[in-house]
Amino acid sequence: MSRGAVADDVLHALRDEVRTFLRTELADGAFRPDVDSWMTGFDPDFSRRLGERGWLGLTMPVEYGGQGRTAVERFVVTEELLAHGAPVAAHWIADRQMAPSILANGTETQKRRYIPGISSGTVFFAIGMSEPDAGSDLASVRTRATGNGDTWSLRGTKVWTTGAHIAHAMVLLARTDGSTEDRREGLSQFVVDLPHPDIEIRPLASIDGEAHFNEVIFHDAVVDSSALLGVRGQGWRQVMSELAFERSGPERYLSTLPLLRAWTGLLREHGATPEQRRTLGELTAQAWALRQMSLQVARELHAGGEPDVLAAMVKDLGSTFEGDLVSAIRDASGAIPRRTGGTDFERMLAQAVLHTPAFTLRGGTNEILRGIIARGLGMR
Amino acid sequence: MSDLATELAAATAAMLARFPVDLRTPGAESGTELWAALLDAGFTSVDVPEEAGGQGADLADALAVLDALAGAGALTPYAEHALLAAWLAGNVGHSLDGATATVAVVDDATVDRDGERVRLSGDAVGVAHLATAEVVVALAGTPDGPVIAVCRCDCPGVRLDSGTDLSGMSFGDIDFEGVEADFAAASPITVDDLRTRGALVYAVALAAAARAVRERTVRYAAERVQFGRPLAKFQAIQQTLARMAAQTTLMETAARAATDAASGDAVTARNAIAAAKIVTSRHAHEVAAAAHQIHGAIGFTAEHALGRFTTALWGWSDRYGDDHEWANVLAERILDGGVDSWDVIVGGRDGNA
């Protein structure tokens, strides 16, 4: 994403195109803006419509059904979708990290099998990383894959697996060699098609009353040997490079932005006190700066760098901001959240309050991220 | 950074090595040798037009010098003199001819013309470096539009109420009582333009001070041993320092992005500068607090260098509008100007994306 790589007018036209599409969708009642819509807004038809317009798999090569465009163009499309609270959850994981991961590590067969569907918004993915005894301590995963020549047999339990109940496939981090004592060694990744007769998917309801994630149990589930993703024993390294894409994108500071926009609408309608004006200005400024920092990560990733520390900073500050925005608007508006009933704003406020605990946990807790930053500062 | 900006930053660093800065707080104006060297090298008029005796380079180039000075803790009138006063005068073709200047905004001024003579009356509140200034470049708001007036500080009618700011630097008010200006001209620069530029200047200075604080605090945490190990080995310290480093990086990012935006479309530039001043002013206090917490009591002793930078963080957050003032400016754009907050966040230029 070096500057000047994409002409300003191309980006401007793309942004306008996405906005026009979103305005039409909103006018048609095709979706209702949600807070945290990349987690809550599951709508396969919407995903397919994005795929038809060429807005998924944007950076994937054309030969695999992608658009062969740049990371900055993907940045523009995704930030517009998030800022409008559009229902992007169905394809989110597949488009954000599975397509790049399969492109980087997959076999030719895997690339041809999955990337075109991801790019058309018709193939959705889940990710099986965390386990009941391995949350932030990912290296202690115990799910085991045992090789039997032509097949692998999978046994173990994954948890917090977002969207497994609706995904067409999931990627799984499992131990192929050694024991949990070996930590980062001996781990491998697999791409497993869903549903599978020996893979049990149990929804996990959360405090908002919804079930976005699942517990996934592998009862000696047999998959073909071709399900291995990348190199046996290199799972840890592969997962870590995936996380750089996961940690610094616009979804790490924009999850609650639709609430800010909804509140702005109310202030325009009913007038604003000096305190409310100040809150609005401060939140807008912080989002502006976080966006600049996230863009910096995207530029460095695109230039082949490894901006792990900067990405961790974006997620630490960005996800904290997402929660701060909710408290600030709650304080300044005096509105009372309603999970059901009430106005759109009251509903979004409830959604935001109930989702806030997740912001600083998902994708690596902020304490872990600060550990990464401290290491980058030479302190560990 | 442009090649010129990089060169200027390196040359400034070399000057700072030649004339070391006394970092005790409260401080005194950094040695006159350093200031003389900056004047001699023409670094005090980097983005002043050539026809007004300047170098005709870009604002970003001048800001690179400021960044080097602020990051080293040098107390000079660089911001007021080079970036505001000389630039203001230069915009009406007037050269300061080596005189050290400060800048004053006189919101409700009276400018009387008496033949060739121009007399200025009005109050300027919160003027920095007034005690060391030989001349003051005033931007006077009048019913007929803004006027730039250059006055000698020892001129009759100039009443200085000079105190000091948090760092110990000269800071106070000026009361102009029918002061005869050496030079006066209608200004193409409005008071808002000047405040916006001042906000950018201090956003850059705040980011530079925060960077120095981060570097010093990381170093101190690695060296200071307590309970048998360096502070840096304690998780609680690591968490605090990581947060502070992230906030500092955000301040630096904001200052850089606003500097980039400053050369583009005026509305986008003003939004970016407003946002950058809010972000740098707000986080300045958190960065300073974390640094003092990690340094312990030694950090707030007069001889320790930390105070030079934290007093700057505390003081500069108010210069040319604090976070509240600029938040109101953004709110005005959004609520009264009908601009979507999202458009302000994205900025007008996708090239910036």
Chain B partners within 8 Å of A15 (Cβ): 346, 350
Who's near B19: CB < 8 A, 6+ residues apart?
A: B30, B31, B33, B34, B37
Cα torsion through A61, A64, A65, A66, rounded to 10 = -30
Chain A partners within 8 Å of B340 (Cβ): 261, 264
- Does A329 score more than 80 pLDDT? yes
The DSSP symbol for A168 reads S
To the nearest 10 degrees (0 to 180), the angle between helices B266-295 and B323-331 is 150
Q: Give CA–CA dist B249/B238, Å, rounded.
A: 16
Task: Give the pair of three-digit tokens for residue A60.
Answer: 């994937």
The DSSP symbol for A135 reads S
What burial letters (b/e) apply to A55-80, b meaning 16+ CB within 10 Å? bbbbbbeeebbbbebbbbbbbbbbbb
Rounded mean pLDDT, A150-173: 96
Mutation test of the interface with chain A: which of B217, B326, B329, B342, choosing the one with the most A Cβ atoms within 10 A? B342
Q: Give CA–CA dist A88/A67, Å, rounded.
A: 18
For A125-156, write each residue's pLDDT tens digit.
Answer: 999 999 998 888 888 999 999 999 999 999 99
**Helix H or strand E encompassing A200:** strand A199-204
Q: Give CA–CA dist B149/A194, Å, rounded.
A: 76
* CB pair distance less than 8 Å for A285 and B247: no
Chain B partners within 8 Å of A75 (Cβ): 353
* CB-side neighbour CA atoms (13 Å) of A378: 9
* CB pair distance less than 8 Å for A291 and B345: yes
* CB pair distance less than 8 Å for B249 and A12: no
Task: Give the pair of three-digit tokens for residue A254.
Answer: 């924009």
Report the residue from B232, B257, B331 with minimal CB separation from A281: B331
Min Cα–Cα distance to chain B from A111, Å: 30
Q: Report whether A59 contacts A96 (CB < 8 A).
A: no
Compute how many other C-beta atoms are within 10 angstroms of the C-beta atom of residue B6.
Answer: 12
Q: A3-7 contacts: CB < 8 A, separation 24 or more?
A: A3/A299, A3/B351, A4/B351, A5/A70, A5/A72, A6/A70, A6/A72, A6/A73
Min Cα–Cα distance to chain A from B201, Å: 17
Task: Give the pair of three-digit tokens for residue B251.
Answer: 């301040």
* CB pair distance less than 8 Å for A289 and B279: yes
* CB pair distance less than 8 Å for A286 and B247: no
Min Cα–Cα distance to chain A from B267, Å: 15
Report the residue from B233, B349, B353 with minimal CB separation from A295: B353
DSSP assignments along A223-253, one per residue: EEGGGEES-TTBHHHHHHHHHHHHHSSGGGT
Closest residue on chain B to A260 (Cα): B341
Mutation test of the interface with chain A: which of B206, B224, B341, choosing the one with the most A Cβ atoms within 10 A? B341
For B290-320, write each residue's pLDDT tens digit.
Answer: 999 999 999 999 999 999 999 999 999 999 9
Min Cα–Cα distance to chain B from A45, Å: 26
B101-106 and B110-114 strand pairing: unpaired
* CB pair distance less than 8 Å for A291 and B346: yes
Min Cα–Cα distance to chain A from B73, Å: 22
Q: Give CA–CA dist B184/A106, Å, rounded.
A: 72
Residue-level pLDDT at A170: 97
Closest residue on chain A to B222 (Cα): A379
* Inter-chain contacts counted by CB atoms under 8 A, chains A and B: 158
Residue showing tokens 């317009």:
A53
Closest residue on chain B to A253 (Cα): B345
Three-class DSSP labels, chain B: CCHHHHHHHHHHHHHHHHCCCCCCCCCCCCCHHHHHHHHHCCHHHCCCCHHHCCCCCCHHHHHHHHHHHHHCCCCCCHHHHHHHHHHHHHCCCCCCCCCCEEEEEECCCEEEEECCEEEEEEEEEEEECCCCCCEEEEEECCCCCCEEEEEECCCCCEEEEEEECCCCCEEEEEEEEEEECCEEEECCCCHHHHHHHHHHHHHHHHHHHHHHHHHHHHHHHHHCEECCEEHHHCHHHHHHHHHHHHHHHHHHHHHHHHHHHHCCCHHHHHHHHHHHHHHHHHHHHHHHHHHHHHHHHHHHCCCCCHHHHHHHHHHHCCCCCCHHHHHHHHHHHHHHCCCCHHHHHHCCCHHHC
Min Cα–Cα distance to chain B from A61, Å: 22
Q: Report whether A353 contacts A330 (CB < 8 A).
A: yes
Q: Report whether A314 contacts A295 (CB < 8 A).
A: no
Min Cα–Cα distance to chain A from B4, Å: 19
Report the residue from B242, B330, B350 with minimal CB separation from A284: B330
Q: Give CA–CA dist B344/B268, Å, rounded.
A: 8
Question: Given pLDDT bands bounded at 50, 70 and 90, which one contains residue A3?
Answer: very low
Chain A partners within 8 Å of B279 (Cβ): 285-286, 288-289
Chain B partners within 8 Å of A291 (Cβ): 345-346
pLDDT by residue for chain B (353 residues), tens only, comes to 789 999 999 999 999 999 999 999 999 877 789 999 999 999 999 999 999 999 999 999 999 999 999 999 999 999 999 999 999 999 999 999 999 999 999 999 999 998 889 999 999 999 999 999 999 999 999 999 999 999 999 999 999 999 999 999 999 999 999 999 999 999 999 999 999 999 999 999 999 999 999 999 999 999 999 999 999 999 999 999 999 999 999 999 999 999 999 999 999 999 999 999 999 999 999 999 999 999 999 999 999 999 999 999 999 999 999 999 999 999 999 999 999 999 999 996 544 44
Closest residue on chain A to B253 (Cα): A293
Min Cα–Cα distance to chain B from A302, Å: 13
Determine if residue A167 is left, alpha or beta; phi over 0 gives left, psi from -120 to 50 gives alpha, anything else beta. Answer: beta
Chain A partners within 8 Å of B353 (Cβ): 11, 72, 75-76, 295
Report the residue from A268, A370, A379 with minimal CB separation from B221: A379
DSSP assignments along A71-84, one per residue: HHHHHHHHHHHHHT
Chain A partners within 8 Å of B247 (Cβ): 317
Q: Give CA–CA dist A1/A296, Å, rounded.
A: 9
What one-letter code names the amino acid at A259?
L
Report the residue from B250, B256, B332 with minimal CB separation from A317: B250
Chain A partners within 8 Å of B237 (Cβ): 379
Min Cα–Cα distance to chain B from A226, Å: 40
* CB pair distance less than 8 Å for A3 and B351: yes
Q: Report whether B267 contacts B274 (CB < 8 A).
A: no
* CB pair distance less than 8 Å for A281 and B278: yes
Q: Give CA–CA dist A362/B125, Å, rounded.
A: 49
pTM over 0.90: yes
Min Cα–Cα distance to chain B from A314, Å: 8
Closest residue on chain B to A309 (Cα): B246
Q: Give CA–CA dist A236/A182, Å, rounded.
A: 12
Q: Which residues pair with A222 in a beta bridge?
A: A153
For A69-117, write each residue's pLDDT tens digit.
Answer: 998 899 999 999 999 999 999 999 999 999 999 999 999 999 999 999 9
* CB pair distance less than 8 Å for A281 and B250: no
End-to-end, the C-alpha distance of chain B in Å comes to 17
Chain A partners within 8 Å of B271 (Cβ): 288
- Does A245 score more than 70 pLDDT? no
Q: Report whether B75 contacts B52 (CB < 8 A).
A: no
Min Cα–Cα distance to chain A from B21, Å: 26
Chain A partners within 8 Å of B349 (Cβ): 8
Rounded mean pLDDT, A180-194: 94
Tally of residues, chain A: 380
Q: Give CA–CA dist B206/B278, Å, rounded.
A: 11
End-to-end, the C-alpha distance of chain A in Å comes to 32
* CB pair distance less than 8 Å for A277 and B246: no
Tally of residues, chain B: 353
* CB pair distance less than 8 Å for A285 and B222: no
Who's near A27: CB < 8 A, 6+ residues apart?
A: none
* CB pair distance less than 8 Å for B257 and A287: no
Residue showing tokens 């491998």:
A188
